[in-house]
Structure 1
Amino acid sequence: MNLILLDDRDFISADRVRLQDDRCRHILRVLGAKPGDSLVCGKKNAKMGTGLIVSIDRQSIEMTVHLEHDPPAPLPVTLVLALPRPKMLKRILQSLASLGVKEIFLINSRRVERSFWGSGVLSDSDIQRHLELGLCQARDTLVPRVHLKRFFSPFVKEELPELSRNKKKILAHPQAQSFCPVSLNSDAVLVIGPEGGFIDLEVQTLVDQGFKPMTMGTRILRVETAVTALVSRLFS
């Protein structure tokens, strides 16, 4: 945990917080902090800075905080991702939050197993927990927004055109002839399919909406590897 992420309920005054949950235990047991120590802190969706530990007991830690710095700038990308396996999704959410992706759409596809949509990982609390773990790792405070879209065609035909207006439209596709750009660093919508890829009809539906199939080469990557590799390649 490289940053202690705070929210409104932690504040007992304008510049003082009390922690009584897993963050408290992490500070005590992992960081081994003591009164007088300073920790990197940030308020959710707000500024970041430092927290000075002023008191510790068995159940809580109190800090005075000075939050005056902006978090890292978000990446200019919207990620559209076919819903992966629940265990993989946990890691992907953490990685995306660490990388600075702030808009994530999880969509259906013919090769997405129906049972994935019933996973507890898709609960608001679980999604937030994994996003916040990624933020703490990267020292960021801006929580990504995750949208669940269970119907492929209505989303691609009705919502995606507006989401991708005036943006680079990239469809990750191993069999594509064009190579994915490097250091694009401009507004983009990146679409990544499920394990096994989108079926031909889904690819054509995306192409009809202006998305260009692109590849990173001949190697077939797992989804969680492809997500990190593509985002890193596009935004340096």
Structure 2
Amino acid sequence: MNLIILEPGDFVAPGRVRLSGRRQQHIQQVHRAAIGDTLRVGLLDGDIGSGQISDLSESGIELQVEFQSAPPAALPLTLILALPRPKMLKRVIQHATALGVKKLYLINAYRVEKSYWQTPWLAEDKLREQCLLGLEQAVDTRMPQIELRKRFKPFVEDELPEVAANSLKLVAHPVTEAPCPVDLPEPATLAIGPEGGFIPYEVEKLQEQGFAAVHLGPRILRVETALPVLLSRLYPGR
């Protein structure tokens, strides 16, 4: 936890918060903090600053906090991601959040098993938990927006044109000739398929909406590996 994320309900007075539960345990067991120590804190969807521990007990920790700086800039990218298998979903959400993705659509595809949509990890509170872990890792406070779309064709035909408007449209597809571009100067919408990739019909439907197919080379990567590689190529240093 590189950042202690605070929420409005944590404040017991102006500039003073009281923490318990997971954050308290982390501060005590990982940071091994004591009264007077200063930690990096951030207000959810707000600024980043510092918090000095003023009280520490088994029931909770109090910090005097102040905020000095804005969080990192978001990636100028909308991510369209075929729903990964549940075990991978948690890691992918954390990775995407840590890398600065703020708009994410989880969509259906032919190779997405129906059972994936039944996982409890798609519940709003579970997705939020993984996003928080990604924000804590990256020292960011801006919560991403995650949308679920269970029907591929209606989403691509009816919603995607507006979602991807005024952006470079790319679909990661290993069977194509064009390499992934590097260091984009413009916003992008990136579609990534499931394990095994989008089927030809799905690639064609995306191409009908102006998406260009790009690859990362001859190696076939897992989604959780391809995602950070793609984002680091498209927007290096961000």
Q: TM-score, normalised by structure 2?
A: 0.98
Where do 4+ consecutive residues of structure 1 move more than 4 Å? Answer: none
Residue of structure 2 equivalent to 1:32 = 32
Extract unaligned runs of 5+ from structure 2: none
The answer for unaligned runs of 5 or more in structure 1 is none
Compute the displacement of 1:68 (Å). Answer: 2.2
Residue in 2 that maps onto 1:224: 224
Please give the alpha-carbon distance, in whole angstroms, between the structure 2 residues aligned to 1:13 and 1:79. Answer: 39
Distance in 1, Cα, partners of 2:152 & 2:195: 16
Aligned to 1:8: 8
Instruction: Tell me the residue number matched to 2:58.
Output: 58
Query: What is the aligned residue count?
Result: 236
Amino acid at match of 2:78: T
CA deviations on 1:127-148 (whole Å, 9 max, x unpaired) are: 0011100100110000111100
Superposition deviation, residue 165 in structure 1 = 1.0
- Partner SS, residue 17 of structure 1: strand
Map Cα deviations across residues 52-92 of structure 1 (whole Å, 9 max, x no partner).
00000111000010012100000000000000011101001
- Contact map agreement 1:171 1:213 (CA 8 A) in 2: yes
Measure the CA separation in 1 of the matches of 2:232 and 2:116: 27
Tell me the SS of whatever aligns to 1:178. coil
Q: Deviations over 1:4-27 (max 9, x none)?
A: 001011011120000011100110
Q: CA RMSD in A?
A: 0.7
* Distance in 2 between residues matched to 1:60 and 1:186, nearest whole Å: 46
Deviation at 1:30, TM superposition (A): 1.0
Q: Which residue of 2 aligns with 1:110?
A: 110
Which one-letter code corresponds to 1:174 in the other structure?
A: P
Q: How many Å separate the matches in 2 of 1:185 and 1:192? A: 21
**Contact 1:85-1:116 within 8 A present in 2 as well:** yes
Q: Equivalents in 2 of 1:186, 1:57: separation in Å? A: 50
CA-CA distance at 1:185 after TM superposition? 4.0
What percentage of residue pairs aligned between the two structures are identical? 48
120 and 185 in structure 1: CA distance in 2 versus 1, 3 angstrom threshold: farther
In the TM superposition, what are the counterparts of 1:123-202 in structure 2 within 5 Å? 123-202=123-202
SS at match of 2:106: strand
Alpha-carbon distance in 1 for matches of 2:132, 2:8: 15
**CA deviation vs aligned residue, 1:92-122 (integer Å, no higher than 9, x gap):** 1111111111100000001000000000110
Partner of 1:90: 90
